[in-house]
Amino acid sequence: MKIGWTPKSLRSFKRLIRKNPNLRLLIERTLYQLAEDPFHSSLRTHKLKGDLSNVWSCSIDYNYRILFEFVENSEGKEEAILLLNLGSHDEVY
């Protein structure tokens, strides 16, 4: 599955890496797993409720999350993943 970035998610990624360079490899592994199988048990993927009802969340580690949506790929009928935000639990919710 393809992964797309929003401007906000790119800024969040750069900010996280600047604050904690050790997270880069962990985020890359998480994104690879997300592209391969968005519902792999290690990601703890779940759909959110309330104001974020169309948004999904997965875990980078215990403290950090990725918020994303499933969207239709512009190149075909396949679904793609659009990253919305990355950060700590308090930062993304």
* Local structure of residue 52 (DSSP, 8 states): G
For residues 90 and 65, give the distance between their C-alpha atoms in angstroms, rounded to a whole number.
Answer: 10
Of 68 and 76, more confident:
68
Q: Encode pLDDT of 15-73 as tens digits.
A: 999 999 999 999 999 999 999 999 999 999 999 999 999 999 999 999 999 999 999 87
Would you say the pTM of this structure is higher than 0.85?
yes
Per-residue pLDDT at 88? 93
3-state secondary structure of 73: coil
The secondary structure element, H or E, covering residue 43 is: none
12, burial (CB in 10 Å: exposed 0-12, middle 13-18, buried 19+)? buried
The answer, yes or no, to whether residue 93 has pLDDT greater than 90, is no
